[in-house]
Structure 1
Amino acid sequence: MQSPAMVVSEWQAAWNAGDASRLSQLFAEDADFVNVVGLWWHDRDSIREAHHFGFTKIFPGSVIEMGEPRVRQLGPDAAVVQSKWSLAGQVSPEGEQAGAREGIFTFVVERRREGWIAVTAHNADIVPGTQTHVNREGERSTVHYREKRSISDSSPSQQ
């Protein structure tokens, strides 16, 4: 990749092609990846295998739209890149269409001789109207501790 921000457009292209190998090439051999439920993969091969499974069983034919990347340079050879995303086309375990989702990706990229490469990534779902999870009697639910308001009405400091 020629710039840190390219990780976002390259992720979108690889995802929408359903190409786990192409997607994994965005990552260093020893990269880490944490998905939306906290599954943690510790190398490129694991990232590829997990996404191959995902493209086959969970997200076949799905489409992701990545938002405008926000890049924070950490020096000349490192950057944090964040982007909101929206996804359509996930299927349930029974094979039925699931609803659309949205979230935020965080990539840490590093400049190497061959260009920029992701060394770690973390993906988080956005759950509108909630602030955190609560576990009760073996069940997890999302909750909001403040008065209800739409996401567009709240700033990060209010959430």
Structure 2
Amino acid sequence: MTPDDFTRSFVTLWSARDAKGLAQLACEDADMLTLTGLWCEGRTAITAAFEAELTGLFSRARLVTGKGKLRPLGPGAAVLHQRFVLSGLVDAEGRDLGRIGALLIATLVAKPEGWQAVTLQFSATDG
């Protein structure tokens, strides 16, 4: 995978509700802050967080890709900023909560198995 493939892979895995696949986009020792504010250290914790979110609040959520920017930091490193709109959020009773803006920020590094995130931050935004 290249840095340019990261967003497409993230959206595809999110749409499939593939928590393990999403976590595989990150290095084994990556850190992540999730949309619901969970802080995760390591791929195992990232997998658990995605599993919880994708079976709860985001069980029917759809991602619409907005503006993105990829900033190379030098050979083998880049920062990705990707805006999304999420719709289909549901509360514990299954009621629709509307839509929100979100921003995914990923620091990517080249690894033998392809580019992976060493840090991820997926945060709600105001538009």
Secondary structure at 1:15's aligned position in 2?
helix
Structure 1 consecutive aligned stretches of length 4 or more whose deviation exceeds 3 Å:
none
Q: C-alpha separation between the residues in 2 aligned to 1:114 and 1:92?
A: 38
Q: C-alpha separation between the residues in 2 aligned to 1:18 and 1:36?
A: 15
Secondary structure at 1:103's aligned position in 2?
strand
Letter of the 2:91 counterpart: S
Task: Looking at secondary structure, tell me which structure has more strand per residue.
Answer: 2
Unaligned runs of at least 5 residues, structure 2 = none
Shift of 1:5: 2.3
TM-score (normalizing by structure 1): 0.75
TM-score (normalizing by structure 2): 0.93
Shift of 1:37: 4.7
Quick one: percent identity of the two aligned structures?
Answer: 32
Shift of 1:80: 0.1
> Higher Cα Rg: structure 1 or 2?
1
Indicate yes or no: 2:32 matched with 1:48. Answer: no
Unaligned runs of at least 5 residues, structure 1 = 129-159
Alignment of structure 1 residues 4-153 onto 2, 5 Å: 4-128=3-127
Shift of 1:68: 4.1
Q: C-alpha separation between the residues in 2 aligned to 1:66 and 1:45?
A: 26
Letter of the 2:123 counterpart: A
Shift of 1:92: 1.0
Q: RMSD over aligned Cα, in angstroms?
A: 1.3
Secondary structure at 1:69's aligned position in 2?
strand
Shift of 1:67: 2.4
